[in-house]
Chain A
Amino acid sequence: MPHLTVAASEAVFAKTLELVVDAVGFEPAGSHDFGAFRAGYDGRLVLAGGDVELRSDGTIRLHELDARWEKLELRLVLELPQLQIGGGCFDGPLGGVVCLPAVTLFRGSPRVAVTIDLAPFVRHELTLVGTPRVDYFDPATSPFTERCQQVHTALDIDDTKTQWRVYCDPQTIDFDPFDLADTAGDLLVDAFSAAIEALLPPGLGVIRDAVFAAIGSIGDLVRTLLDIPDDIAEWLSDLFNVSFGLFNLVLQFVADFFGRCVSFYQLDDPYPVFPATDTLLAVSVPIEDLQATVDDLELVVTANVGE
């Protein structure tokens, strides 16, 4: 018979996890040089809602958590190649040589940069199945990532004491990859259009249409410059999923968050039974053999008091 037994119903456990999830965010940022252009992102992902289910096979299922980007800024910087439009001479029908006026665009290959916030266009759902995992935390020896440290600061978790910690260790994580709607592609084209048009020399006047006839639509130009095969929205999705590797980063974050970073239960070891007074030291008892199990109704933690 264990010396100590603590049990929490599924409702208590679910509420605890809900609050823990609500309290933190993930703020990834990165950039990548693609040669023809450079892209970077800066985001903040938050988790909310979802259902928690304790299951008879000893697992915990966090179902349909809403993973929402509060911010997902994409910054693209590309160098516009100098374009020569018009010019050239041909023999005139009445004899002589006729030379057309020439327009040089993007002289000096200026850089154009756009930043768009894709947060409204991205929504993920997260489902996770984990098992309780007990770790012994020792501030002197336990590895601790900077990211965990930030989360602990947000949650006001005391990392100065040795503790038993119980995590929901993910066994499977089901996370929707980035799947951006066409409207996100439109936003990108609009942003580039505005930026490029600003670079066109003033007073193009009647030859403006000729310029655009020559270079095609701004969308075409963007596709060409960014080497986008066809669908801009799909290209954007791949950019985040594959090129930036943000999909994997989020998966890693979720795995670390639940599995290594934020324990849903922690017990000081030694456990303080009587606080210190002005003249007396605190009385505390060593905690040993801590175990955590779940069934479909409750979480049960057992432990022994050491010698």
Chain B
Amino acid sequence: MTFTDRSPLYAAVHEDGINRMLRHLRRQRPSLFNYATVGFTQYLRPLLCAPIDATDQVLASGQPLFTTEQPLPVIGAVRPIGLEFCLQVTDATVDLHPGDTLTLPPELGTLADQQFALRASACFGLGCPADGTLRNLVAEMEAAAAADILATRPTANPQTSPRSTSTSPAFAAGDSSAPDVVTAGEVICFCLQVFGVGHIQWTTVAGDPEPWLATRLDGLEVVDIETVPPSGLEDIVECYLKQVVELGILPRLIQPMERLMFDVTRMLQDNAPNVGQQVTLVPAAVPADVPHNPAVEHDELRVYVKIQARRR
């Protein structure tokens, strides 16, 4: 059997290649794996849960090492304030079916046909204010609450505003329109190992007639949280991390089909217009042409592609 007996073009990436690509991606685009509040660009930088591993080129370019997030809101605070935090994915490994590299936790079962497994380490750090800061904040919140009450009295001084204390050393400098950020005295970290299973499928994106390859998460399991008796805590963490992965990370990893073909048709596509033709790539049909496309099998991600040429 040949690679192209079912479609004229074929491309495959072995899981070892994918894992190396992930490592390059993590070092060259650390902002995809690291999320933190603005304080971590300044005084909290040394307190990240894990040092950010970036290439010299990235460090020299001055590009952001993490995606800046809004502070974690303190629920019920008299006026909007938030805590510094960071979320870092420090490691990620992919194992394509048949799944002979990673051992999945029992909750995820056995890796199904055409699925991939994912293992990642995720660290969450919370910027916790020092006791002194907290005491100051309590006083400020009481003052703010009192100001609100006084404001309801006819004799209240309208100049008294909760925002008047925003220069307090209890708050880190930040955008005046954003919630005030509480100055952290320390960063408390915990790290979890996360496993996931998923599949890969074609998807369409606006503005591009050719399909893209997208990753879908079918399940996620955090293995380091155990409560007796079992509680919703682990489920909540898993739910949240699933949103981070599915809504934050994976959408940024979709790839146009053309790039997956590693330019094997570049010469063809570039020169077809010279003879009045336009060449486009389309996935081979399932099941008419191939049983699975994309296929995740034999430790490889495989795509089968056909060529359509039409007169311009």
Contacts and interface: CB of A to CB of B under 8 A. Distances in A.
Contacts of B16: 1, 3, 305
Interface string B38-76: 000000000000000000011001011000000000000
A281 B28 CA distance: 8
B119 interface: no
A78 B307 CA distance: 58
Contact of B262 (A267, A274, A283): A267
Interface in A256-307: 264-268, 271-274, 279-281, 283-286, 295, 297-298, 300-301, 303-307
Contacts of A272: 259
Contacts of B265: 8, 12, 16
Given A3-B17, A22-B275, A265 B11 contact: no
B267 A12 contact: no
Contacts of A306: 20
B275 A265 contact: no
B28 A7 contact: no
Nearest to B307: A12
A289 B5 CA distance: 25
Max count, chain A CB within 10 A of own CB: residue among B24, B63, B261, B299: B24
A4 interface: yes
B24 A285 contact: yes
A2 interface: yes
Given A3-B17, A274-B29, A300-B3, A9 B8 contact: yes
Contacts of B274: 19, 22-23
Contacts of A284: 24, 28
Q: Which of A1, A8, A298, A300: most chain B CB closer than 10 A?
A: A8
Contacts of B268: 12, 15-16, 19
A137 B58 CA distance: 25
B150 to A, nearest CB: 46
Interface in A1-54: 1-9, 11-12, 15-16, 19-20, 22-23
A5 B267 contact: no
A156 interface: yes
Nearest to B31: A280
Interface residues of A, number: 45
Interface residues of B, number: 44
A264 to B, nearest CB: 6
B267 A307 contact: no
Nearest to A15: B268
Given A283-B28, A283-B29, A19 B272 contact: yes
Contact of A5 (B10, B29, B57): B10
A122 B61 CA distance: 60
B143 interface: no
A8 B275 contact: no
Interface in B155-205: none
Contacts of A301: 262, 264
A285 B272 CA distance: 28
Contacts of A304: 17
B264 A297 contact: no
B2 A305 contact: no
Nearest to A18: B275
A155 interface: yes
A198 B21 CA distance: 77
A6 B264 contact: yes
A4 B63 contact: no
B270 A5 contact: no
B79 interface: no
B101 interface: no
A2 B20 contact: no
B14 to A, nearest CB: 5
A16 B267 contact: yes
Contacts of A5: 3, 10-12, 14, 300
A299 to B, nearest CB: 8
A19 B3 contact: no
B118 to A, nearest CB: 18
B9 A12 contact: yes
Contacts of B267: 16, 19-20, 264-266
Contacts of A280: 29, 31, 63-64
B266 interface: yes
Given A5-B12, A8-B8, A274-B25, A19 B263 contact: no
A4 B263 CA distance: 12
Interface string B240-262: 00000000000000010001011
Contacts of A298: 2-4
B275 A305 contact: no
Contacts of B24: 273, 283-286, 305
Nearest to B19: A305
Interface string B283-307: 0000000000000000110000001
B103 interface: no
B239 interface: no
Contacts of B2: 7, 295, 297-298
Contacts of A305: 16-17, 20-21, 24
7 contacts: A4-B262, A6-B262, A12-B9, A23-B271, A273-B255, A280-B63, A283-B24
Interface of B: 2-5, 8-14, 16-17, 20-21, 24-25, 28-29, 31, 57-58, 61, 63-64, 255, 259, 261-268, 270-272, 274-275, 299-300, 307, 309
Interface of A: 1-9, 11-12, 15-16, 19-20, 22-23, 155-156, 264-268, 271-274, 279-281, 283-286, 295, 297-298, 300-301, 303-307
Given A5-B12, A20-B271, A281-B58, 8 more contacts: A2-B17, A5-B300, A7-B3, A22-B271, A22-B274, A267-B263, A274-B29, A297-B5
